[in-house]
């Protein structure tokens, strides 16, 4: 029987998790929400040591200390551009931990009177889905980190192998639920690992962030199921929150990218969904110097900035904010256009610009900024490509077709700051680059932004 005071502490921790999710819904309250969630997790972890006598206390403390050190060091050292990889890695570790606990429970069921079929089924489910989340998250980490190609990886017979793995895993869950033990548990884990790899390998380009969110929802489901198996209400609540929020985020991201959640989930059966060529074009474009672009900006009345992943890679957000400050002081109206999935994950650009002390009031979401493009004199696109590519509206069959985009093509003049003519993450050309009203400013975003800032100040 869990003591009343422990139940009260669990309730407080659960409330912290709910408040954390609420806080994370807005950039203004995200930091506070994150701290509240961390406090809830700390309390929930600490109370375990006082709930009942624990064995193997030294190994447990060593594991907790090691995990805390690795997590703190990793989170502090990671670059903003690598945040999606960190999220994928942490998510995978959570799924893997839930799977290991469930394996131990199934092994324990073999040595004592087995609990109800519902409990054994929940444990078997946790092993499979936790392993899927672990293996799939490692593959997404490798793709985003550049350890393997971001393009779809397919081979003959993959759909058949994937389907056979899923069906075998379902059969193994039934067997483990009826006759639990270590061998069935290990078999479930192996099948889950294989299914996770096969699920993510065929996914490429812009689908990767959706898969990260989907796997996050999977991890939440495993934690909730594990909480049911262990009789831990807090795990059940926390897992349900993560699973529900991850599912909603997946649906929202899919809508924001013009994707189908079903096609993403079963992408392995179709051989992937992002098949752009990914090669640079040698078609002629109009380019200019930083001084030329400075004149365009200096004589504009309305300017819209479209930040993208290239801005994050170059760490040019501070110079960009200073440029906007200079333009604003000259009476020029400037806004930032934020696409829901700019960068590699939702909120990536918001966090990047907040780091540079950009006022939240200048960050305008896609639905609100799109009507303003036709009234803007200059749109400055910094490191973005796919989120402004008209192919999403005009080219059926393109990997991004159907994705809502920022309507940059409606502006009077467009300036692209690009390192090269290589296409974006989806691997397809952007016809807007060849439009007569488009000018390109080539070079590293940080260096060219510094030159542009100096040129604007010199006007």
Task: Compute the distance between CA of residue 419 and CA of residue 383 in angstroms, rounded to an integer.
Answer: 8
How many of the other CB atoms lie within 10 Å of CB of 171? 11
* Helices (H) then strands (E): counts for the chain: 17, 6
Q: Which of 386, 409, 435, 444 is catalytic?
A: 386
Task: Compute the distance between CA of residue 85 and CA of residue 211 in angstroms, rounded to an integer.
Answer: 12
For every residue of 61-112, DSSP letters joined together read HHHHHHHHHHHHHHHHH--GGGHHHHHHHHHHHHHHHHHHHHHHHHHHHTTS
Picking from 449, 381, 443, the residue whose alpha carbon sits closest to that of residue 409 is 381
What DSSP state is assigned to residue 418?
E
Active site residue 386: yes
Helix axes 208-230, 117-145, angle to 10 degrees: 150
Please answer whether residues 293 and 452 qualify as being in contact, where contact means their C-beta atoms are separated by less than 8 angstroms. Answer: yes
Burial class of residue 75 (count of CB atoms within 10 Å of its CB; 0-12, 13-18, 19+): exposed
Q: Which sequence positions are flagged as catalytic? A: 386
């Amino acid at each position: 029987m869990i003591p009343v005071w422990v139940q009260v502490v669990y309730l407080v921790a659960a409330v912290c998790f709910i408040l954390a999710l609420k806080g994370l819904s807005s950039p203004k309250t995200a930091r506070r929400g994150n701290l509240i969630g961390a406090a809830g997790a700390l309390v929930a972890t600490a109370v375990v040591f006082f709930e009942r006598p624990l064995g193997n206390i030294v190994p447990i403390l060593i594991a907790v200390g090691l995990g805390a050190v690795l997590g703190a060091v990793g989170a502090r050292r990671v670059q903003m551009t690598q945040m999606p990889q960190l999220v994928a890695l942490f998510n995978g570790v959570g799924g893997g931990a839930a799977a290991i606990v469930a394996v131990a429970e199934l092994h324990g069921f073999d040595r004592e009177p087995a609990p109800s079929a519902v409990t054994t089924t929940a444990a078997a489910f946790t092993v499979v889905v936790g392993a899927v989340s672990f293996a799939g998250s490692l593959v997404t980490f490798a793709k985003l980190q550049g350890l393997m190609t971001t393009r779809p990886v397919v081979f003959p017979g993959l759909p058949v192998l994937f389907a056979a793995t899923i069906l075998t895993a379902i059969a193994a869950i039934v067997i483990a639920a009826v006759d639990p033990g270590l061998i069935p548990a290990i078999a479930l884990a192996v099948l889950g690992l294989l299914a996770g790899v096969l699920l993510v390998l065929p996914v490429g380009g812009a689908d990767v962030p959706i898969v990260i969110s989907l796997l996050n929802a999977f991890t939440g489901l495993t934690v909730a199921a594990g909480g049911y198996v262990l009789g831990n209400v807090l795990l059940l609540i926390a897992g349900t929150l993560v699973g529900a929020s991850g599912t909603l985020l997946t649906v929202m991201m899919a809508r924001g990218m013009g994707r189908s959640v079903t096609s993403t989930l079963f992408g392995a059966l179709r051989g992937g969904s992002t098949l752009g060529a990914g090669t640079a074009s040698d078609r002629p474009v109009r380019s200019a110097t930083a001084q030329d672009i400075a004149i365009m900006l200096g004589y504009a009345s309305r300017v819209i900035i479209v930040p993208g992943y290239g801005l994050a890679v170059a760490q040019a957000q501070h110079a960009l904010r200073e440029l906007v400050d200079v333009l604003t002081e000259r009476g020029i109206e400037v806004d930032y256009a934020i696409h829901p999935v700019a960068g590699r994950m939702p909120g990536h650009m918001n966090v990047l610009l907040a780091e540079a002390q950009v006022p939240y009031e200048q960050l305008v979401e896609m639905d609100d900024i799109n009507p303003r493009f036709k009234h803007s004199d200059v749109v400055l696109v910094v490191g973005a490509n796919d989120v402004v590519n008209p192919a999403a509206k005009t080219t059926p069959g393109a990997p991004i077709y159907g994705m809502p985009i920022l309507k940059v093509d409606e502006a009077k003049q467009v300036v692209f700051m690009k390192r090269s003519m290589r296409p974006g993450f989806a691997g397809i050309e952007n016809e807007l680059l060849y439009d007569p009203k488009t000018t390109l400013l080539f070079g590293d975003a940080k260096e060219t932004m510094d030159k542009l800032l100096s040129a604007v100040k010199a006007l």
